[in-house]
Structure 1
Amino acid sequence: MTHAPANKNAWTKHAAAALAGTGVHASRPVHSNQTAPALVAEALRRHEGRLSVDGAFMVETGVHTGRSVQDKFVVDEPSVTADIWWGKVNQPMPVDRFNALKGRVQAYLQGQELFTQDLYAGADPEHRVRVRLVTTQAWNALFARNMFIRPPEADLPAFEPDYVILHAPLFQTDPEVDGVRSSTTIALSFEQKLIVIAGSEYAGEVKKSIFAVMNWLLPPKGVMPMHCSANIGRDGDVALFFGLSGTGKTTLSSDPERKLIGDDEHGWGENGTFNFEGGCYAKVINLSQEAEPEIWAASNRFGSVLENVIGDEHGNLDLADGSLTENTRSCYPVEFIPNVNLAGRGGQPKNVFMLTCDAFGVLPPISRLTPAQAMYHFLSGYTAQVAGTEKGLGSEPKAAFSTCFAHPFLPRRPEVYGQMFADLIAKHGATCWLVNTGWSGGQFGVGKRMAIKHTRALLRGALDGSLTKMEFRKEPFFGLAIPLHVSGIPDEVLDPRQSWADKAGYDRVAKQLIGRFEENFAAYEAGVADDVKAAAIRAAA
């Protein structure tokens, strides 16, 4: 940690070093690389939040309780424009507009008390990115310190950032002046290696902006960036868990019998698997101490950050209360999980799980995929949003497709990542599985959520190899290979149609979901191989 010196000349020198490469010139105190206790003390002094009864820092993020996907821009620069996947996810921002916005934010920041953190993204030194965060909020500095990899103290004096984040959560952008959509803007320049985040206190913007950077930098180096969790067994076997928010990536990768590598973002290349981060960002709505004891314990201790979690006046938490948002979050360093691989690295994956929370209740709890099916489901990235969890959803579940399980974070075209995935699976022979952590016996409102004990048992069978030795059959709707019998799990759970009392209702809902798969895949079909086209889910002729 670097302390702000008392001497004025020394203070000026300290501030200049802390802000080097950011374009910001301090006129007020700069707190650089403070530790968690110091940042909590500063956040309390500034009334940014309060402590829970167990010492976690509780904060509310105002109107933004999730990412502002419509306010994300990529600067349209000559060296990158041909390779960007332009569209709704990567909206172009002219260079002159970005430079003007950057100047306004830099001017704003230099009039504020600032907190800086120098951090790494990437546990593999060969593919590491050095990040310097400049923010006006102590708790956001704590969030970043929890989420990214903290360099050794000896590395800090010579630290030079590869990318800079200018984080101004209370600065309001002006659509007329800045040429943006609203008072919130996230703008990323790959040429200037600079990210501007303005008008949102939701800390996930900081985390995911660097994930987008890794998704840009790594493919040309032969490393596939992945939106997945990962863990490693006693014999060194690595498992990957792809999935969108709420599908169980964090929960299922936190296994007492396996060491956690990381819960959300990884790279896969010739050196094996490595975590991008040094922390976990778990969704904690309805978190159960009994079902998820490790995440529960990590979330309820000093140093953790709780976003939009409700508590009483004494700081006693109510994790079932979604009155602020269903997207309540806990952020903590990986070392808060007792069974963790602190190196953040592992070998080549042996098993790849694609998680979906199927609220329609028609997908089986586990299916073994062929390589072509794995490619198809990777490009599809299916899950279902449950009615009531987001504004604008009706009474029925809504199918959601996020290609490569990372649509909002892909600066390059999906085919780039899809081909890397196919090549790595073929080269290293990983077994691929589709896992439904959603509903069984009926869709949301009729059936029940898949029992986590059943999901964990099926995963254990896949991981120890016993499941692959069992007899499988092909179910008729989605063409998926499902096990006939698994000890301890009712047969009707393995076959989703048999779990429905209303068989005609299952057939109707399954056909509706097949239609959604077909409609989504049309955007990618022209760019995939014939075997993947043949593996696509299609309605019966």
Structure 2
Amino acid sequence: MIEDLKKSLKLHSNIRENLPREVLISLAVDNKEAVLTRNGALGTWTPSNSTGRSPKDTYIVRNPESELNIDWSSPNNIGMNPQTFALVFEDALKTIGKKKTIFTTDRVIGADSKYALRVKTICDKALSQVFVDNMFRPTPDDINQSIFADEQFFLIALPKDKLDKDRYKGLVRDQPNGETSDICVVVDFDKKIGIVYGSSYMGSMKKLMFTVMNYYLPFKGVLPLHCSANEGVNGDSALLLGLSGTGKTTLSADPERALLGDDEHGWSNDGIFNFENGCYAKMIDIKPENEPEIYEAVMHKADYTKHGAIIENAMIYPDGEIDFFDDRYTPNSRASYPLSFLDNIKESSKASHPNTILFLTADAYGVIPPISKLSKEQAMLWFLMGYTSKLAGTETGVTEPQATFSRFFGQPFMPCNPNIYAEMLGDKMDKHNTNVFLINTGWSGGSYGTGSRIKLKYTRAMVDAALKGKLNKVDFIENKVFHLNIPTSCENVPSEILNPINTWKNQDEYQKTAEKLANKFSTNFDKSYGNQNLDPGIISQCPGK
């Protein structure tokens, strides 16, 4: 297939290869793929069915070579037979051949050259390649030392084209109205080809490549994680794990710590490294006083050819003014920008083994403590469960928070069998004496709709305390429902909010709600891991048991 793709590109009459960033930005504007905002950034909008990922239209090719490595019981690992993939690939080549212009770029995924994967992105939109330039890394001079030196992945992105519904009837999913879906995001790990067909959400490209790395790296001794990472002045590094909307990007942008990256990292025998070259931040309700680094990265003024931040699906008025508080189109407005737009970064995007890991959850029930210190068994349990709430807009069709369990805080992007990731994390935690905390960035004083979101300044204070070891000498009390250890005090945080029962007007109602959620944990655990023969010490830490 790759040879067919290379032949198709060779025969095309107008291939624009590795164009300079300024040229791609100019073409995106000239071709009306984006508008200019008042500060010089690029603004764009996607169709209403592409304002978030399309998990039900995301597939993995089920090949004999790799199928035993993949957890097909996961609802996010939807198999596609090789014959259907061949049809999608065939149609992609025909579509490429009809395009007036095709843009290609050569980048890598992975800041550590030892583990960097080369990727060639092929698409018909200059704006897509600006996104790639923001998010994927330049090819390093020492790429030949990579464990993937002899391999290359090919990513085809056709965001505005659609599958022929008649051709694919019975081969891809049917929509609720009975029509065949015309969107397809599919990856073939063995042939090293990914195709984004019909999804204009730019995150589809980056998440496809994240999934690719999450499949390849464990077999090379590297644990991939859906997390942000930063480093203190003394070289102490930290990982922050959490699904979209739980605060990874916000909390990792700490003025006292250098940012490695905000979403995707690997933990090798040498330390940690970022996969990406940029950030893809949620922009809804952003305020410069709350998130100054992110706001300045997107909203600084510059000549548009030197800017290149892409603001996706926000309200932009005809004069170029932006209203990040208007969510009528979607609450999942996003902005992509290079890490270099931030002041406080570590340029290498690499660090030593993490001293601290933070699991982030946005609890819509309002019953999880704002901060808890986890034992090894508790950490493994919460890593396996990955409890949070889907927040409005992070997926198409999600308009309000929903309680969910996403193993490893990134189930949609973690295709391998769960024991592969869990065992690697446990081994690395033991080997490097890593402390783990659970941070709830969600609700307090009641469930969603009654309670309120925990104040960001308090969450930042708790994160600071965890990273600086300020909780090592405080007393803890046990929350018996969730088997969690709650600190009785934390610097710059009102003590009364640390134990969530104290924030509810009706404590009996809190207890009922907590037990309701604990039962959901127990039920989900039994369904997902009941036959896995896990350590009894881990099982005993599951809420509801």
Matches within 5 A, 1:252-401: 252-301=251-300, 302-385=307-390, 397-401=401-405
Partner-residue secondary structure (3-state), 1:537:
coil
Matches of 1:152 and 1:134 in 2, distance apart? 20
Distance of aligned partners of 1:391 and 1:103 in 2 relative to their CA distance in 1, 3 Å threshold: closer
- State yes or no: 1:180 paired with 2:172: yes
* Residue number among 36, 59, 62 corresponding to 1:73 in the alignment: 59
Matches of 2:404 and 2:15 in 1, distance apart? 43
Matches of 2:396 and 2:490 in 1, distance apart? 39
Matches of 1:471 and 1:22 in 2, distance apart? 67
Q: 2:256 is aligned with what amino acid?
A: E
Q: Show the counterpart of 2:192.
A: 193
Runs of at least 4 residues off by over 4 Å: 152-156, 386-395
Distance of aligned partners of 1:386 and 1:230 in 2 relative to their CA distance in 1, 3 Å threshold: closer
Matches of 1:225 and 1:104 in 2, distance apart? 32
Matches of 2:540 and 2:310 in 1, distance apart? 46
The superposition leaves residues 411-441 of structure 1 with CA deviations (integer Å, 9 ceiling, x where unpaired) of 2112211111111111111000000111111
Matches within 5 A, 1:42-191: 42-63=27-48, 64-87=50-73, 88-112=75-99, 113-151=101-139, 162-178=152-168, 179-181=171-173, 182-191=181-190
Please say if residues 106 and 121 of structure 2, whose CA atoms lie closer than 8 Å, have aligned partners that are also in contact: yes
Partner-residue secondary structure (3-state), 2:446:
coil
Matches of 1:394 and 1:314 in 2, distance apart? 29
Please say if residues 379 and 403 of structure 1, whose CA atoms lie closer than 8 Å, have aligned partners that are also in contact: yes
Distance of aligned partners of 1:155 and 1:315 in 2 relative to their CA distance in 1, 3 Å threshold: farther
TM-fit CA distance, 1:78? 2.1
Q: 2:327 is aligned with what amino acid?
A: G
TM-score, L = length of structure 2: 0.91
Q: What are the ranges of 5 or more consecutive residues in structure 2 without an aligned counterpart?
A: 174-180, 301-306
Distance of aligned partners of 1:149 and 1:392 in 2 relative to their CA distance in 1, 3 Å threshold: closer
Matches of 1:125 and 1:352 in 2, distance apart? 24
- State yes or no: 1:536 paired with 2:522: no
TM-fit CA distance, 1:155? 8.0
TM-score, L = length of structure 1: 0.92
The superposition leaves residues 343-392 of structure 1 with CA deviations (integer Å, 9 ceiling, x where unpaired) of 01000000000001112111111000000000110111111235798776
Q: 2:346 is aligned with what amino acid?
A: N
- State yes or no: 1:494 paired with 2:498: yes
Q: Show the counterpart of 2:304.
A: none
The superposition leaves residues 26-71 of structure 1 with CA deviations (integer Å, 9 ceiling, x where unpaired) of 5342222223321111011111120111111001011211111111
Distance of aligned partners of 1:273 and 1:372 in 2 relative to their CA distance in 1, 3 Å threshold: same
TM-fit CA distance, 1:175? 4.3
Matches of 2:133 and 2:238 in 1, distance apart? 26
Please say if residues 52 and 393 of structure 2, whose CA atoms lie closer than 8 Å, have aligned partners that are also in contact: no
The superposition leaves residues 127-169 of structure 1 with CA deviations (integer Å, 9 ceiling, x where unpaired) of 110000001111111001100112259989xx98610011111
TM-fit CA distance, 1:462? 1.1
Q: What are the ranges of 5 or more consecutive residues in structure 1 without an aligned counterpart?
A: 1-18
Q: Show the counterpart of 2:178.
A: none
Matches of 1:155 and 1:468 in 2, distance apart? 42
Please say if residues 8 and 97 of structure 2, whose CA atoms lie closer than 8 Å, have aligned partners that are also in contact: no
Distance of aligned partners of 1:392 and 1:295 in 2 relative to their CA distance in 1, 3 Å threshold: closer
TM-fit CA distance, 1:97? 2.0
Q: 1:487 is aligned with what amino acid?
A: E
Matches of 2:150 and 2:6 in 1, distance apart? 8
Matches of 1:81 and 1:394 in 2, distance apart? 34
Matches of 1:390 and 1:197 in 2, distance apart? 16
Matches of 1:202 and 1:392 in 2, distance apart? 14
Between 1:382-391 and 1:241-250, the stretch displaced more is 382-391
Partner-residue secondary structure (3-state), 1:364:
coil
Partner-residue secondary structure (3-state), 2:490:
coil
Please say if residues 22 and 166 of structure 1, whose CA atoms lie closer than 8 Å, have aligned partners that are also in contact: no
Please say if residues 85 and 410 of structure 1, whose CA atoms lie closer than 8 Å, have aligned partners that are also in contact: no
Between 1:281-290 and 1:82-91, the stretch displaced more is 82-91
Aligned length: 519
The superposition leaves residues 82-135 of structure 1 with CA deviations (integer Å, 9 ceiling, x where unpaired) of 222224322222222212221111111122111111111011111110000001
Partner-residue secondary structure (3-state), 2:356:
strand
Partner-residue secondary structure (3-state), 2:531:
helix
Distance of aligned partners of 1:22 and 1:152 in 2 relative to their CA distance in 1, 3 Å threshold: farther
Please say if residues 113 and 142 of structure 2, whose CA atoms lie closer than 8 Å, have aligned partners that are also in contact: no
Please say if residues 96 and 102 of structure 2, whose CA atoms lie closer than 8 Å, have aligned partners that are also in contact: yes
Q: Show the counterpart of 2:483.
A: 479
Distance of aligned partners of 1:222 and 1:152 in 2 relative to their CA distance in 1, 3 Å threshold: closer
Q: Show the counterpart of 2:406.
A: 402
Q: Show the counterpart of 1:415.
A: 419
Please say if residues 248 and 355 of structure 1, whose CA atoms lie closer than 8 Å, have aligned partners that are also in contact: yes
Partner-residue secondary structure (3-state), 1:24:
helix
Matches of 2:35 and 2:399 in 1, distance apart? 35
The superposition leaves residues 457-495 of structure 1 with CA deviations (integer Å, 9 ceiling, x where unpaired) of 111111111112111111222111111122332221111
Matches of 1:385 and 1:104 in 2, distance apart? 34
Matches of 1:347 and 1:400 in 2, distance apart? 32
Between 1:441-450 and 1:398-407, the stretch displaced more is 441-450
Q: 1:419 is aligned with what amino acid?
A: E
